[in-house]
A and B are shown apart, each in its own frame.
Chain A
Amino acid sequence: MLYFSKTKIFIIYSVIFFLSLCAFLNLIENDQNFILSKKVNLGLDLQGGSYMLLEVDSEPVLKQKLQEKLLNFKKYLKKNKIQYQDLKIINQSINFFISKNDIEKFEEFFLNKDNLINIYYNQYRSYEMTYSIIDNEVKIEYSKFGIIEIKKTTLDQSLEIVRRRIDEVGTKEPTILRRGNDRILIELPGLEDPNRIKKLLGKTANLSFRFVSQTENTFGSELLFFENSDDQLSVSKRVIVSGDNFINAKPLFDNQTNQAIVSFSFDRVGAKKFGRATTDNVGKRLAIILDNKIISAPSIREPILGGNGQISGDFTFQEATDLALLLRSGALPAPLRIVEERTVGPDLGEDSIKAGAISLMIGFLLVIFYMLYKYRLLGIIADLALIINLILLLGVLTILEATLTLPGIAGIILTVGMAVDANVLIFERIKEEMKIEKSTIHAFDMGYKRAQSAVIDANITTLISAVILFFLGSGPVKGFAVTLGIGILTTLFSAYFFARHLSSLYAMKNKDKQIVL
């Protein structure tokens, strides 16, 4: 166990040298495209910032999709010459009656793998929709996979819009990820006040232009509240132009009225529609509606043909800016709800870094001195191994560009305490062997050999815990699992390669002397 070939020594020290270099990268500022511009990232709990978990509420989308399905269905039934009665939506299914003779015909087109109304997913081996027939009544529902697909698409679209909105706000290095079928995870480092982002993400931003109804409670119109007051107004359900037709929107300050406004431009289709509607209805009031709330309802004074317009509505400049941002980034397909939010202020993060650094330093020194006290000369070897271990740990974290969290720092300190265990196991064994063995070299050799199974067993158990925690833990706790797990690996390396080499040098040098441990 004590013999090291030249190649082996070279490899061991190359690894140490390389990882030390990586660890060192954290100390130098480099923002150039340096080959090794890697760094350990600080978690939100250390640098401050906001973490949010958003859930997409896909209920409304499912309802809307079913409604669209219903219309398509009518067409298809007619096209295939199937007589139907009482076609309507009940809860989450489309129901209708057909005659017995038509059932076969219906099944033929409904289960055709190339049909366009009921898509067949090859990857799931399942249809978009399922059906059941009881006494001539057909009931069609979305299948499990149909719902998954809709949720997936909704999530993808939402993700895109969320990304656009956050990019527009201009926070540094945001992380936006999908989580499962209906969630979006957002990390915004350095964000002090998450309020604005929360407000921006809380709006679906469905904008529409609709006429104000002349009389209240007429068919085809609805009562809506104003955004800034409790007043109500009856507006037509028919949408003239929607936010989909926007190509630009920006906040402006109107010097005449001393008010902030949002100026916008339509695309060609929107401009055409808007031009026609305003030409035909001069004098009428046009309501501008955002998420079912009326922003304002100005009268049309003259036809607006250029495709440009303005929205005014008692905005502060910030509000106008945010509205413009929402219009530019587009509407969310479904409402988002924040189901989890964690925000850490930057000063707390700084305090945590300080506290972490101090406790690491003190824990480290305590362990170093304790080992020196217990083992004297061998203690120096254990301590050197510990120092190398920490450097290696930092090096590996750097290469992986891991995120360091407060529990992660705790994991490093814990590694310091537990890492010496490997050397303790070995040294204790050497001590025992010394009692039996005459030769120092042989005692060292046997010590390393016989302690090996205990060292490996002991470290694997902790490694198992770390791995499970890594997969099931979330956020900062994951950071703990990372440092603890990597700490174990570097511990094994530093004990079995680095410290063993030092021990072998020590044993060779003192092979003729009687060493007292």
Chain B
Amino acid sequence: MMFKIARDIQFSQFYKKMNILSSILICLSILVLLIKGLNLGVDFKGGTLIEVRTENEKIDISEIRQSLLKMELGDVTVKKFGKKNDYLVKIEMTNTNDANFIKSINDQLSSNLGSVINFRRVENVGPKVSNELLKAGLLAITLSLAAMLIYIWIRFEWQFSLGAIIALIHDVIITVGIFSFLSYEVNLSIVAAVLTIVGYSMNDTVVIFDRVRENLKKYSKISISEISNISTNQTLSRTLITSVTTLLALFSIYIFGGAILKGFSFAMIIGVIVGTYSSIFVATPILNYTNVSQKTVLKENTENN
């Protein structure tokens, strides 16, 4: 079969190069994050988001922008969203006290453009709530990292935990960095994606680690770098098949799932690719660097007994 030829890849040869590549990517991500920051959506920054559909397809995006600017609503961004005559309008201002706020925007827009404007979706988040949502999102990500740390700590030795957690942080930073670089909007669903990435990446790492541990117990004379190679090769076809099926599902969402799920599925696609890569080239090398040996795992056993 396809992956059979790839049975004896000396992964450890590439560790150094890949680690340099990862370091560069992480530095770049942090740099981009510091310079550009994240494009926070209304969930986290507060404001008003309106998905607009125009009846008249000839209306130009700049006409909509002009019309909105006239209303003096603060910072306004308009961009295409999904179909031809669908737009996404983001308004900095929220006026939740005025019940007519949204209606008056619609009325003015309709009369300025001389066409019926359909508001397909309106999201209005006040500053207090957006602040809370941001905190809850950060808390969720931190908690999930902590939970993973604790879980793997219980199941494995500390060298393994270290490898897994560094790989997780690697994945999260690069995914978020790519979002910053592309100025993609970060909203609640991106937090969901990041959490799922954490789960997925961990899943991938654990399967390799499981095998490393098993092999360490089996062979006492083989060096850890050789064990890593054997274990990675043994689990490689599983790693690839699962990544492929997950990516198939994700691409299906990305292409056919509509505009709302684009950001979420994009983040997940990046996360699955980076997560698969990091299990092999970030998490496993750390076992080599920390000189894991048969003693490490056997000690664990005697302790348990």
Question: Which of A's residues lie within 8 Å of B, judged by CB?
Answer: 45, 53, 55, 195, 198-199, 202, 337-345, 347-348, 351-352, 355-356, 358-360, 362-363, 366-367, 370-371, 374, 406-407, 409-410, 413-414, 416-418, 420-421, 424-425, 428, 432, 450, 453-454, 457-466, 468-469, 472-477, 480-481, 484
Contact = CB atoms under 8 A, between A and B. Distances in A.
A457 B155 contact: yes
Q: Give the interface residue-count category, chain B.
A: 35 or more
B151 A374 contact: no
B241 A374 contact: yes
B257 A355 contact: yes
B258 A356 contact: yes
Interface in B242-276: 242, 244-250, 252-253, 255-258, 260-261, 264-265, 268
Nearest to A419: B245
A474 B238 contact: no
A458 B244 CA distance: 17
A478 to B, nearest CB: 9
A380 to B, nearest CB: 16
A348 B120 contact: yes
Given A198-B99, A464-B147, 13 more contacts: A199-B99, A338-B126, A348-B120, A355-B258, A359-B253, A374-B241, A407-B264, A410-B261, A421-B203, A428-B241, A469-B144, A474-B133, A480-B189
B195 A461 contact: no
Classify the secondary structure of A's interface with B: helix
Interface in B209-250: 210-211, 214, 234-235, 237-238, 241-242, 244-250
Interface in B155-193: 155, 188-189, 191-192
A339 B126 contact: yes
A418 B204 CA distance: 11
A457 B210 contact: yes
Interface stretch (B67-75, B135-143, B288-296): B135-143
A462 B245 CA distance: 16
B124 interface: yes
A230 to B, nearest CB: 18
Classify the secondary structure of B's interface with A: helix
A477 B260 CA distance: 13
B102 A195 contact: yes
A345 B129 CA distance: 23
Contacts, number: 221
Nearest to A347: B120
A338 B127 CA distance: 11
B199 A465 contact: yes
Given A337-B97, A469-B140, A352 B258 contact: yes
Most buried by B among A195, A359, A463, A475: A359
B253 A410 contact: yes
Contacts of B265: 410
Contacts of B248: 363, 366-367, 370, 417
B96 interface: yes
Contacts of A420: 241-242, 245
B252 A195 contact: no
A340 B148 CA distance: 32
30 contacts: A198-B99, A338-B124, A338-B126, A339-B96, A340-B126, A340-B129, A343-B123, A345-B118, A345-B121, A348-B120, A363-B252, A374-B241, A407-B261, A409-B257, A410-B261, A414-B253, A416-B249, A418-B242, A421-B203, A428-B238, A453-B210, A459-B203, A461-B148, A461-B202, A461-B206, A465-B144, A468-B195, A473-B191, A474-B133, A476-B188
